[in-house]
């Protein structure tokens, strides 16, 4: 009885899967829905690998992002340099479909220039900015550092500082590396360096914020600048555990 029930369930599952494959195949090849091609590729990956590849390739022609990423990762795993270069082309096409992880991967590849990438700082800057616009707040720090001269790029303080400000004012309000950036940018603000206009008030705000989130260095910095500040402005202090 149990074997009969199991057999019937297997038959039912197989028929449903076959129906799903047929429907998806029609939507991919006849209706030209790219997302259905990558779905078809997944359905056939184990049972019909050659048909799976055909579906992914067809999806890539339709600029389906998942199909492009599948082929990009497939070629990237190859031991042949020519295949890795093909992978980069697929990664670039996938990134144009708004994929921030791919943008960051390409940015670092072009910034460092290790084979099969070649160093291209113009492309690196473009992809760092794409990652900053599409992805999480930490990507704003990467583009700020890039315009600040990292990887040997030309220093562009206005653009670097613009992204530092966006990172500091972003959604991630505590923890590393933000607290270290609050300390560093606070120093630049206090000194009027790195292209920032000198502002002890803003520097103090950054250090108070870092200190109340547990950054020990902020305490000594703030107290030192309080001693050096001879103006009549109210002094900022940090009390461990809060203001």
- Domain span at 61: 22-96
Cα–Cα distance for residue pair 50/28, rounded to 1 Å? 16
Nearest to 88 by CA among 79, 103, 97: 103
Per-residue pLDDT tens over the stretch 214-224: 888 988 888 88
Report yes or no on 1 lying in a domain: no
pLDDT band of 13, cuts 50, 70, 90? very low
Per-residue pLDDT tens over the stretch 186-221: 999 999 999 999 998 899 999 999 988 888 898 888
Q: Which pLDDT does position 116 carry in this prediction?
A: 94
Q: Which pLDDT does position 18 carry in this prediction?
A: 53
Cα–Cα distance for residue pair 106/126, rounded to 1 Å? 10
Per-residue pLDDT tens over the stretch 39-95: 999 999 988 999 999 999 999 999 999 999 999 999 999 988 899 999 999 999 999
Report yes or no on 211 lying in a domain: yes
Domain C-terminal end among 166, 187, 203:
166
**190 lies in the same domain as 154:** no
Query: pLDDT above 90 covers what percent of the chain?
Result: 69
Domain C-terminal end among 47, 69, 96:
96
Report yes or no on 208 lying in a domain: yes
């Amino acid at each position: 009885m149990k074997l009969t029930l199991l057999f019937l369930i297997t038959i039912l599952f197989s028929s449903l899967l076959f129906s799903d494959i047929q429907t998806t195949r029609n939507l991919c090849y006849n209706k030209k829905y790219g997302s259905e091609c990558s779905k078809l590729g997944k359905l056939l990956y184990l049972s019909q690998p050659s048909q799976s590849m055909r579906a992914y390739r067809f999806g890539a022609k339709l600029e389906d992002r998942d199909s492009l990423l599948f082929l990009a990762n497939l070629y990237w795993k190859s031991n042949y340099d020519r295949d890795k270069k093909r992978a980069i082309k697929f990664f670039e096409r996938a990134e144009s479909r708004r994929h921030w992880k791919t943008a960051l991967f390409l940015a670092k590849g072009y910034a460092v220039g290790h084979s099969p990438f070649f160093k291209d700082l113009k492309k690196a800057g473009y992809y760092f900015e794409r990652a900053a616009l599409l992805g999480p707040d930490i990507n704003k720090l990467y583009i700020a550092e890039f315009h600040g001269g990292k990887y040997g790029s030309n220093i562009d303080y206005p653009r670097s500082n613009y992204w530092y400000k966006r990172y500091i004012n972003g959604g991630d309000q505590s923890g590393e590396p933000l607290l270290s950036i609050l300390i560093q940018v606070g120093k630049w603000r206090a000194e009027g360096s790195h292209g920032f206009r000198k502002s002890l008030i803003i520097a103090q705000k950054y250090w108070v914020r870092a200190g109340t989130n547990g950054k020990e260095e902020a305490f000594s910095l703030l107290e030192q600048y309080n001693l050096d500040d001879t103006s009549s402005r109210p002094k900022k202090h940090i009390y461990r555990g809060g203001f």
